[in-house]
Structure 1
Amino acid sequence: MRADGRRNREQILAAARHLVGCDGAQASLEAIARRACVGSATLHRHFPSRRALLDAVFHDGVVRLCERAEALDGDPGADLEAWLEELAAYSATTKGVTDALLAGPDGHIDERDTCHGLIGDAAARLVDRAKDAGVLRDGVATDDVLALACSLSTVTADPDAARRLVRLAFGGVRAPHRE
């Protein structure tokens, strides 16, 4: 990419981070282009869809979440619950990340949506460990726990409240204690 193209991309991302932080995932693409001092065509050349732009805006935070998931190696149930709390807290404080992580209304995820793929892979590893340890109820899928954490994060912008809600809801997916 030429220097002017890299500069335009960085200006668009900076503008998007600011406006998505203020207005959430539905921030106006036209306003983002204006703030970045680029035309609408330039914005769309770099980011062909709103989801592609959201994916780029949230990518660094998602990578940190995934690195955290990789580092967890204690009790599988506690690790999964702690990581889901972190995901919910991050989602609650970054307006719109949930839109970048969950499937659209048609159930389709674009293969270029790296945030969705990264989070899905990290969650799948933790869910598989928890299943192998007998911590999760039968039939609980990775998509279920992701939807749980992301959904709970949409009802609050307070990361502590999001963590508390995940702790409360996690009891519903935990396997019953066996004596």
Structure 2
Amino acid sequence: MSLKLNVVVCSTRPGRVGLSIGRWFDAYAKAHGGFEVELVDLADFALPVFDKPHHPRLRQYEHAHTKAWSASVESADAFVFVTPEYNYGPPPSLLNAMNYLVHEWRDKVAGFVSYAGVSGGLRAVQAEKLIMANFKIMPLPEQVTIPMFPQHMDAEKNFKPNEMHETSAKAMLDELVRWARALKAMRAGA
């Protein structure tokens, strides 16, 4: 059973480091081999603040950006959200993107690669897990946490993981595969 993982870079802020961290995780996930992996950058979708005239449960998408975002999310069996922590919470770009859709998220699994200062983004992930559970996404406890992320960036702003990051990434990917298989089978039987 082929499984697809979308590695979603959640920050759209100019000068962000999330894309560098996302590129590292994308390459790591491809080497892991459990998934067909796609790096998805929220900035590429240019989603304005929720601009749809119809509730997302109706799937009456009128805008090209909504249709493209829906297709991207629908295509995945699992997600890894590469997320910063903004003011003790999730980035608004992720919350906005989540609210664009309903059905496309259902019965899929999510992992997290979080980064920030001393917290490593843990507070953002805790809030994101609560929100995602309401979309019927299974958020895993396994995650990659990157505290004091500037210490792991080289002069060209490339992320340089340490052993803990790689060990955590493997553990999370192993669990993502297990859950993605089970939930894909469940969706097929629904």
Using structure 2 for the length normalisation, give the TM-score: 0.27
Greater share of residues in helix? 1
Greater share of residues in strand? 2
Using structure 1 for the length normalisation, give the TM-score: 0.28
Which has the larger Rg? Answer: 1
